[in-house]
């Protein structure tokens, strides 16, 4: 797990992350969309949260009646997530592992997969495994929510790609963290996911991130996908 030390350091002394017990708003909006458009709720669903961090989304899903597994590379993040789950009185299965490696999840067993700003830092080899494993784990007709960094319209990404380019396509090195991130054009995002998933909704969103007490405007993609039935 080559990124483990980086994320462990970040969760112990954060420069980028901000810890909140509440679920991320974009995730909640996805669940509202799922209920409105597909009459699906979280109750009795099998949910897989990739890069589950401190458990804000995973624990929320468990509160709503889902059976939840979170895969997270940082031991510290999992400890925090378990503490929060205990406070809420819910049970979530947390697995310490990279999701750029095969998942310990049975085939066709998951109803909903979440990837909320987690797969930005996968390399291309890891990303191929991640896509194949999501496809393997999801039930036919199962749903996928991805929030990922956009290349288009993001001046900060444009600057980082120019000043600190990575070795792979559309990547840059975040020197403060020692972390490589990937940004996606719309076309690249579609070509990455459509071999396995029907893209039901794809929109770009502007938001702000903080690092070392500085605020940066960022662009991200919100992708709602569904595994092909056959």
Instruction: Check residue 94 and give its pLDDT.
Output: 98
Q: Looking up tokens 């462990």, which residue turns up? A: 8
Q: What does the pLDDT read at residue 215?
A: 66
pLDDT score at 10: 75
Cα–Cα distance list, 103 to 95, 107, 134, 148, 227 (Å):
9, 10, 9, 20, 17
What pLDDT digit, counting tens, does each position of 33-56 carry?
A: 999 999 999 999 999 999 999 999
pLDDT for position 214: 66
Give the per-residue pLDDT at 8. 74
What's the pLDDT at 15? 58
What is the C-alpha separation between 199 and 175, in angstroms, rounded?
34
Q: Which of 152, 102, 135, 126 is nearest to 2 (CA)?
A: 126
Q: Return the pLDDT at 210.
A: 59
Q: pTM for the complete prediction?
A: 0.93
For 217, residues 6+ apart whose C-beta sits below 8 A from its C-beta are 154, 155, 156, 206, 207, 208
Contact (CB, 8 A) for 126 and 118: no
Q: Is the dihedral of CA 68, 77, 11, 130 positive or negative?
A: negative
14 contact partners, CB below 8 Å, separation of at least 6 = none
pLDDT along the chain (230 residues), means of 10: 70 66 93 96 97 96 98 93 96 96 96 96 96 98 98 93 96 86 97 97 86 74 95
Q: What domains sit in the chain, N to C, each tagged with a CATH number?
A: 4-14+23-153+189-227 (3.40.50.150)
- What the block records as the tokens of 46 is 């099998």
Cα gap 47→15, rounded to integer Å: 29
- Given a contact cutoff of 8 angstroms between Cβ atoms, the answer to whether 42 and 61 are in contact is yes
Phi, psi angles (nearest 5°) of residue 177 = -110, -15
């Amino acid at each position: 797990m080559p990124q483990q030390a980086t994320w462990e350091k970040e969760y112990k002394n954060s420069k980028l992350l901000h810890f909140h017990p509440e679920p991320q708003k974009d995730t909640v909006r996805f669940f509202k969309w799922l209920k409105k458009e597909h009459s699906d709720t979280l109750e009795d669903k099998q949910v897989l949260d990739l890069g589950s961090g401190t458990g804000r989304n995973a624990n929320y899903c468990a509160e709503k009646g889902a059976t939840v597994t979170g895969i997270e590379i940082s031991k510290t993040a999992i400890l925090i997530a378990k503490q929060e789950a205990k406070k809420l009185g819910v049970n979530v299965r947390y697995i310490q592992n990279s999701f750029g490696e095969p998942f310990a999840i049975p085939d066709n067993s998951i109803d909903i997969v979440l990837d909320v700003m987690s797969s930005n830092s996968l390399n291309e080899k890891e990303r191929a495994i991640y896509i194949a494993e999501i496809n393997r784990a999801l039930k036919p007709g199962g749903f996928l929510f991805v929030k990922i960094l956009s290349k288009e319209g993001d001046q900060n990404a444009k600057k980082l790609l120019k000043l600190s380019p990575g070795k792979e396509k559309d990547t840059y090195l975040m020197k403060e963290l020692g972390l490589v991130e990937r940004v996606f054009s719309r076309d690249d995002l579609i070509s990455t996911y459509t071999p396995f998933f029907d893209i039901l909704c794809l929109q770009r969103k502007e938001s702000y991130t903080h690092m070392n007490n500085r605020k940066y405007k960022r662009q991200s993609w919100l992708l709602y996908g569904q595994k092909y039935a056959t």
